[in-house]
Amino acid sequence: MPQLRENKKKLIVNEALEESGLRGITQKINRVALSSGFLQPGDIVILNYRKDHETYYKPVVVLVVQTKVSSGVRISRGTNRKLITCFKLDNSPEAMNMVRKLYNNKSNSSYLKVYSMMGEDQYRTYIMDSSHVSRILKVKLDETALNKTQTEASQVEG
Query: Which residues make beta-bridge pairs with 142?
Result: none
Reported as a single tens digit per residue, the pLDDT across 45-56 is 999 898 888 888
Give the percent of the chain with pLDDT over 90.
4
What gap in Å lies between CA 110 and CA 71, rounded to an integer?
9
Task: Using alpha carbons, select from 91, 95, 109, 98 the residue that is nearest to residue 43.
Answer: 109
pLDDT band of residue 24 (cuts 50, 70, 90) is confident
Residue 26 or residue 153, greater confidence = 26
The burial of 115, by beta-carbon neighbours within 10 Å (0-12 exposed, 13-18 middle, 19 or more buried), is given as: middle
pLDDT value, residue 104? 65
- Alpha-helical runs (H) found in 51-104: 93-103
pLDDT value, residue 6? 64
DSSP secondary structure, 120-158, as one string = GGGEEEEE-STTTEEEEEEEEE-HHHHHHHHHHHHHHH-
One-letter identity of residue 106: K
pLDDT value, residue 100? 79
Answering whether pTM is above 0.85, one says no
pLDDT value, residue 3? 58
